[in-house]
Structure 1
Amino acid sequence: MESDGGGWMVFQRRYNGSEEFYRDWQDYADGFGSIASEFWLGNDLLHNITASHPHKMRVDLEDFEGNSTYAEYTDFSIADAGDFYRLHIAGYSGTAGDSMLGHNGHPFTTKDADHDTSAVNCAVNYRGAWWYTACHKSNLNGAYLGGIHSSYADGIEWFTFRGHYYSLKYTEMKIQPM
């Protein structure tokens, strides 16, 4: 997918389910996968990059019917590991709807490191890793389920685009310096 203006650095990509994203804290800290395929760049590196100067963030999404949409944020950063890679995000624009709004200010949670505000571990319940609250409106590191599914909210989801019973085909998260 082409992004407006170019010059973006991709930090997450999903498109065929070839890479397992239900992983532990250290995998998300270090990063995994291949930049030629599906991957997560790594929270340590993402923090180092976004802490140096202001960045915007863009999310490109596509469903299995070929519908594409996007969300862009003018202010994006994550904290360091000591603050559990807490998310800072603001300034939404786009066509996807703002499914990140409720996640602002929340720490990152994985199956082995529960930092969400729910009584249960949202990463375990929804088979992913994310800046969960109690629990989510977006879950782009959820299970690759291939479109409509019957299980609640555990797929690759952006609620304001396709809801909690649809797992997206393609996602790409990217940053650009301001």
Structure 2
Amino acid sequence: GWAEYKWGFGNLEGEYWLGLEYIHQLTQSGDYELRVELGDWGNETRWAQYQHFSLTPEPLNYTLSLGDYQGTAGNSLKYHQGAAFSTRDRDNDFNPRGHCARTFHGAWWFTACHESHLNGRYHHGRHKSYGDGINWMAFRGHNYSLKYSTMKIRKTNI
């Protein structure tokens, strides 16, 4: 739920989420960029990089802010610009007819609902359930769950 995504969970050697609060605090200390690395089940890799990455504080639900995109993955995170983070126990999406985190089985910066979702179910490649895997719309679409994804941030004004 919300508390886990706020404070982080997992193991650095495997699945790991740093924590929204720590990411927010980091991104307030200077200018940061976000790099997303994606891999499919055929060992094809893609990347997306965003300048001026930051998250708002918790009272604003860790709203996502992104600058310019470059990369090979396609700009599937742009759709989420200005979206608040949602979990199964906290619905902050823009969807008046549903709850994206519950529908798609994972927490993310949902709008109504997503073009990317890197916290979805871990299906093996192509699957029949729409949009509930590890998805990046511009790289394999909503019916394909990626093998892995990483999100890395670094300070740019060192």
TM-score by length of 2: 0.97
- The answer to whether 1:127 aligns with 2:105 is yes
Which ranges of 4 or more aligned residues in structure 1 deviate by more than 4 Å? Answer: none
**1:34-64 Cα distance to aligned partner (Å, 9 max, x none):** 1111110000100000011110000000000
- 1:94 is matched with 71
1:108 is matched by which residue type in structure 2?
F
Deviation of residue 80 (structure 1)?
Answer: 0.9
- Count of equivalent residues: 155
1:96 deviates by 0.3
Equivalent residue, structure 2, for 1:32: 9
Note the residue ranges of structure 2 that are not aligned, 5 or more in a row.
Answer: none
1:168 and 1:61 mapped to 2: Cα distance? 7
Partner of 1:6: none
Mapping 1:1-178, distance limit 5 Å? 24-118=1-95, 119-178=97-156
Q: Which has the higher contact order (CA 8 A, sep 6+)?
A: 1
Please give the root-mean-square deviation of Cα atoms over the aligned residues, in Å. Answer: 0.5
Structure 1 unmatched ranges of 5 or more: 1-23
Counterpart-to-counterpart distance in 1, 2:99 and 2:29: 31
- Structure-2 separation of matches of 1:146 and 1:117: 29
User: What are the Cα deviations for residues 105-149 of structure 1, in whole angstroms up to 9, with x where unaligned?
Assistant: 110000000000112110000011000000000000111011100
What's the TM-score once normalised by structure 1's chain length?
Answer: 0.86
Instruction: Encode CA deviations 1:61-90: one digit per residue, 9 max, x unaligned.
Output: 000001000000111000111100000012
Q: How many percent of aligned residue pairs carry the same amino acid? A: 45
